[in-house]
Amino acid sequence: MTIFSKIAAGEIPSYKVAESEDFYAFLDINPLAAGHTLVIPRHVEDDYIFNLDHETYAGLWEFAGKVAKAIKAAIPCKRVGVAVLGMEVPHTHIHLVPLQTEGDLDFRKSPKPSFTPEQMAATAAAILSEYEKL
């Protein structure tokens, strides 16, 4: 099991943003911006997004699109940016990052913004509330 499988299963805590039977979205613990979210399939055979079977691949992007709409509604931003890296965690995930400028999608950003647990929880709750309206 990967760390992200354990997060999706609730075995490791996370700030949940949205979930469905097959997919899960939660705040990145080291965010580039408030509302930076990771979207994952609950179960993966392969950690490289372009190796996913078609159904999982299409479902993941459809779910991510809904989550992006919820983020846009909850977090003041110009756009929600998308990135797929997977350099660190071997479990397919899509980054959704609320953008004010293109620099907000720079993974080398230093220092990164920091948020209290209360701020993270409030951000996740705001996105989840918008997601549930979709």
- Residues making contact with ligand 5GP (CB under 6 A): 3, 14, 26-30, 38, 85-89, 93
Q: Can you tell me which residue has the tokens 């950003």?
A: 109
Q: Quote the least distance from Cβ 47 to ligand 5GP, whole Å.
A: 9
Q: Quote the least distance from Cβ 82 to ligand 5GP, whole Å.
A: 12
Using the minimum distance from each CB to ligand 5GP, give the nearer residue, 14 or 123. Answer: 14
CA–CA distance, 22 with 4 (Å, rounded to integer) = 13
Using the minimum distance from each CB to ligand 5GP, give the nearer residue, 118 or 133. Answer: 118
Residue 43 appears among annotated catalytic residues: no
Q: Can you tell me which residue has the tokens 């992007």?
A: 61
